[in-house]
Amino acid sequence: RVTKEVDSTSKEAKSFLKQQEKWQQASPASLPTGSGVKRPSGMSSLLGKISSKKQKMSTLEKSKLDWESFKEEEGIVEELAIHNRGKDGYIERKAFLERVDHRQFEIERDIRLSRMKP
């Protein structure tokens, strides 16, 4: 069993609330007992509850939840944020490589243009 906290305005929270409302409306206690209302038989109602499809969780969602819980348990959330912002962080390294690649391209372009002029 996995518990997941989401923002109440998110799409996932809204779909969960709609699903909860459907389950409450489908419960036999909420059905009116008037003479014109047809109630589901005991066996089909029971089979309907058993065979109702549960919302499956993808591998990526499960991995993300596991990683988030691990970070909280180990208390490394702030440490990771600081490390990723620093000089050794992934984003900083990617930006550096992009700048180097752009400079190299400009140097090669200038060399090619200088050879074409004569």
pLDDT in tens, the chain (118 residues): 677 777 778 787 888 888 888 777 776 554 455 555 555 566 666 666 666 666 788 899 899 999 999 988 988 888 888 777 777 777 888 889 999 999 999 999 999 998 886 5
How many residues can be counted in the chain?
118
Q: With beta carbons less than 8 A apart as the criterion, state whether 114 and 108 touch.
A: no
pLDDT value of residue 30 = 47
Return the ∠ at Cα 27 (arms to 12 and 21), rounded to 5°: 25
Does residue 14 sit within a domain? no
Does residue 8 sit within a domain? no
93, 82: one domain: no
Domain holding 72, by residue range, is: 58-86
97, 113: one domain: yes
Cα separation, 68 vs 6, in Å, equals: 13
Q: What is the pTM of this model?
A: 0.33
pLDDT value of residue 108 = 95
